[in-house]
C-alpha cells in the first residue's frame, strides 16, 4: 500500500519544483518569525528573493546540534508558546538537551510521515500495532502511536520493558505489527525462549525497527526468531522523530519523504555536497514545519542516497543503511572504526551471540587498545578450554580483516552484557583525549 502516491511516486522534477517553492516560503517564514534565524541568514547574505529553486539550497548556512543547544530551550522556535502543542527532548549526552516543539499542524505532519512509513512496511488498516518503543520524552513511542492512529491501525501503547507482559498480550491480542528497537526485539526473543514462549502461536506479520544502527545479519536473526518481516525505520527528534524514511517491501534502502524532509548528502568537514551516490553526512531541511523548522540540519549520520526509481514504484530517494555517525565513529590507532562493522563481522561467526560491547582505552605509551567483549554460547564454557581459545582466535582474525586494526577479544558468558530496552550502549570510551 502506498500512502501518498501523489508525492511518493511523483516525477522527481515535480517534487524538486515543489521543494523549491516550499524552501522559499520557509526562508520567508523563519526570517519573519525568529530573530536568530534572521541574523544567521542575513550574515550569510541570503534573502528570500535569492531562493528561486531547490538548487539554491546550497546558499543557505547549515544548522548543527550546537545551534539548538546554544539557544536552549526555545531559541529557534518560530511560534508563540501558546501554539506549541507538544514538546519532546532528545537524550543528549553532553551539554544541554535538544528540545523539539510541535504545533498541531506539525503533529499532523509527523503522523502522516509515520503512516507513510507503516504503509511502506506493509501494515494495513485494522492491524494491531504493538508499540514497544519508549514513550517518555523519546519520540519513538508517540511517533509510532500517532502514525498508527493516522493509518487506522489498532494501537497497543506498551512502551518498552515489562517483557513478560509484552509476550502475553502479543499472543492474546493477535498483534500483527511490532515497533521497537532491533536490540529490544532480540532481547525479547531471548527472554521468550527462556520462558518457553511459542512464537508459532502469534500472528506477527511485520516489525518496524529503528532508532539505532543494525545490520542485515541482525535483520535475518530477528526475522527467524519472531517469524515476521523486519523493516528499517529512520528518524531523529530534531526533524520530528521516527518516520523520516522507511524501507518498502524490497528492503533495499529507506525511502525518504522528500516533499517534506528534503535530503542532501554533505562532506562532513566542509559541508559541501558530495557527488551523487557517494557517502557523506545526511542533512535535512524540514520544508513545512512550523514550531521549529530546521534548514540543512546536519544529522551526523553517514549515508548514501540512491535516486533510482524503486521496484515498488516510489520515486523518493532511498538512503542506504546508516553506516555510522560522524560523532560515534571511534578512531583507534589512526583507523576509523564503526561499531556496525564489528557487529556485522560477529554475526557471521558461529557460536557468537548478537551482544557485544567495545571498550576503548589508552595504554601506557599512548597506544589505544580496542577491547571487544563478545557473548558466546554457554556450551563453549562447559567445553574444553581449547575450544574457547580457538573461537577467540577466529574472532580476532575476522575483526582484524574487517577493521584493519588488532583488537583484544574477551569472551563472556551469555547475559553478561547489560541488556537494554531502548538503545543499547555499544561503546565505552575510557580515553582521556
Interaction mask 141-160, ligand DLL, x per CB under 6 A: --x-----------------
Binding pattern to ligand DLL, positions 281-320, x when CB under 6 A?
Answer: ------------------x-x-------------------
The least CB distance from residue 59 to ligand DLL, in Å, is: 25
Interface with ligand DLL (CB under 6 A), residue total 22
**Site for ligand DLL contains 178 (CB under 6 A):** no
Distance CA 108, CA 432 (A): 45
- Least separation in angstroms between residue 323's CB and ligand DLL is 9
Residue nearer to ligand DLL on the CB measure, 233 or 417: 233
| Gap between the Cα atoms of 23 and 285, Å rounded | 8
- Based on the shown chain and the rule CB under 6 A, indicate whether residue 210 belongs to the binding site for ligand DLL: yes
Q: What character string, x for contact with ligand DLL (CB under 6 A) and - otherwise, covers 54-93?
A: ------------------------------------xx--
Options 34, 103, 111, 139; binder of ligand DLL; rule CB under 6 A: 139
Q: Does 236 bind ligand DLL (CB under 6 A)?
A: yes
Q: Judged by CB, which is closer to ligand DLL: 23, or 239?
A: 239
- Degrees, nearest 5: CA angle 352-357-358: 120
Which of 226, 234, 297, 380 touches ligand DLL by CB under 6 A?
234
d(CA 28, CA 98): 24
Residue 282 C-beta: closest distance to ligand DLL, Å: 8
Binding range to ligand DLL, per CB under 6 A, among 5-13, 78-86, 193-201, 227-235: 227-235
Is there a contact between 374 and 398 (Cβ–Cβ < 8 Å)? Answer: no
Q: Exactly one of 159, 237, 285, 424 binds ligand DLL (CB under 6 A); which one?
A: 237
For ligand DLL, the closer of residues 36 and 137 by Cβ is 137
Site membership for ligand DLL, residue 140 (CB under 6 A): yes
Is position 112 an interface residue for ligand DLL (rule: CB under 6 A)? no
Compare residues 53 and 91 and give the one whose CB is closer to ligand DLL.
91
Residue with cell string 555499544 = 426
How many CA atoms, within 13 angstroms, populate the side-chain half-sphere of residue 211?
A: 30
Grid-cell match 582484524, residue found: 400
How many Cβ atoms from other residues are within 10 Å of residue 388's Cβ? 16
Phi first, then psi, for residue 54 (nearest 5°) are -65, -25
HSE-CB at 260 with a 13 A cutoff on CA atoms is 23
Q: Which of 112, 127, 232, 343 binds ligand DLL (CB under 6 A)?
A: 232
The stretch among 69-77, 197-205, 235-243, 378-386 that binds ligand DLL (CB under 6 A) is 235-243
Residues that bind ligand DLL (CB under 6 A): 90-91, 133, 139-140, 143, 210-213, 232-237, 241-242, 299, 301, 322, 325
Amino acid at each position: 500500500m502506498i500512502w501518498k502516491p501523489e508525492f511518493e511516486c511523483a516525477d522527481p522534477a515535480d517534487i524538486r519544483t515543489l521543494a523549491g517553492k516550499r524552501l522559499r516560503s520557509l526562508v520567508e517564514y523563519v526570517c519573519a518569525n525568529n530573530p536568530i534565524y534572521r541574523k544567521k541568514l542575513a550574515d550569510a547574505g541570503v534573502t528570500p528573493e535569492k531562493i528561486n529553486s531547490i538548487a539554491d539550497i546550497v546558499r543557505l548556512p547549515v544548522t548543527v546540534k550546537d545551534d539548538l543547544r546554544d539557544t536552549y530551550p526555545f531559541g529557534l522556535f518560530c511560534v508563540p508558546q501558546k501554539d506549541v502543542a507538544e514538546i519532546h527532548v532528545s537524550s543528549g549526552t553532553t551539554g544541554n538537551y535538544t528540545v523539539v516543539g510541535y504545533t498541531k499542524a506539525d503533529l499532523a505532519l509527523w503522523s502522516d510521515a509515520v503512516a507513510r512509513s507503516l504503509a511502506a512496511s506493509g501494515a494495513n488498516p485494522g492491524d494491531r500495532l504493538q508499540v514497544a518503543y519508549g514513550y517518555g520524552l523519546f519520540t519513538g513511542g508517540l511517533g509510532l502511536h500517532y502514525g498508527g492512529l493516522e493509518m487506522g491501525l489498532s494501537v497497543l501503547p506498551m512502551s518498552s520493558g515489562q517483557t513478560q507482559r509484552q509476550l502475553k498480550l502479543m499472543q492474546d491480542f493477535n498483534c500483527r505489527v511490532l515497533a521497537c528497537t532491533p536490540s529490544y526485539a532480540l532481547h525479547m526473543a531471548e527472554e521468550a525462549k527462556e520462558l518457553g514462549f511459542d512464537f508459532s502461536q502469534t500472528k506477527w506479520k511485520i516489525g518496524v525497527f529503528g532508532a539505532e544502527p543494525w545490520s542485515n545479519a541482525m535483520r535475518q536473526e530477528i526475522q527467524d526468531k519472531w517469524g515476521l518481516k523486519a523493516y528499517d525505520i529512520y528518524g531523529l527528534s530534531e526533524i520530528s522523530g521516527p518516520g523520516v524514511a522507511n524501507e518498502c517491501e524490497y528492503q533495499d534502502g529507506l525511502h525518504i519523504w522528500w516533499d517534506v524532509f528534503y535530503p542532501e548528502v554533505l562532506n562532513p568537514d566542509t559541508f559541501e555536497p558530495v557527488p551523487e551516490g557517494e557517502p557523506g553526512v545526511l542533512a535535512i531541511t524540514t520544508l513545512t514545519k512550523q514550531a521549529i523548522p530546521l534548514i540543512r540540519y546536519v544529522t551526523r549520520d553517514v549515508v548514501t542516497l540512491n535516486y533510482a526509481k524503486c521496484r515498488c514504484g516510489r520515486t523518493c530517494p532511498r538512503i542506504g543503511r546508516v553506516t555510522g555517525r560522524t560523532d560515534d565513529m571511534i578512531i583507534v590507532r589512526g583507523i576509523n572504526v564503526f561499531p556496525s562493522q564489528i557487529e556485522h563481522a560477529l554475526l557471521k561467526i558461529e557460536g557468537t551471540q548478537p551482544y557485544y560491547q567495545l571498550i576503548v582505552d589508552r595504554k601506557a605509551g599512548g597506544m589505544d587498545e580496542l577491547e571487544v567483549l563478545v557473548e558466546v554460547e554457554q556450551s563453549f564454557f562447559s567445553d574444553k578450554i581449547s575450544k574457547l581459545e580457538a573461537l577467540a582466535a577466529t574472532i580476532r582474525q575476522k575483526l582484524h580483516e574487517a577493521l584493519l586494526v588488532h583488537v583484544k577479544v574477551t569472551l563472556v558468558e551469555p547475559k553478561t552484557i547489560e541488556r537494554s530496552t531502548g538503545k543499547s550502549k555499544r561503546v565505552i570510551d575510557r580515553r582521556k583525549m
